[in-house]
Amino acid sequence: MIHRIKSVNTLPEYKLEICFDDGRIVIYDVSEDMEDIPSYRQLREIEGLFNQVRLDESRTCIFWNEYIDLPSDTLYEYGKNIKE
């Protein structure tokens, strides 16, 4: 099953609030990815980039630029539930 994203909002400390079509809402901590994936460090280094997160047309991925993206399955699996 493909998890489609309904909305994405940025939060302080490089966290995202993701709402999925099935009603599940999670908080995903992008700062953990910044430690492991070099291209993600741009989110901290380029002022304002983190707040420019966008949802792709298929609603199965969020992205910031051509180098930084996160698939909905990753967000769904590793995000911390705030509502199911």
pLDDT mean for each 10 residues of the chain (84 residues)? 95 97 96 92 95 97 96 96 76
**Alpha helices per DSSP H over 1-71:** 31-36, 42-45
Task: Read off the DSSP letter of residue 70.
Answer: E
Containing structural domain, residue 66: 5-83
- Looking at residue 36, which CATH number applies to its domain? 3.30.2020.10
Q: What angle do CA 8, 33, 64 make, to 5 degrees?
A: 45
Q: Amino acid letter at 51?
A: N
**Residue 31 to residue 33: CA distance in whole angstroms:** 5
Q: Give the count of domains, the chain.
A: 1
Question: Cβ(75)–Cβ(5) under 8 Å?
Answer: yes
pLDDT reported for residue 45: 95
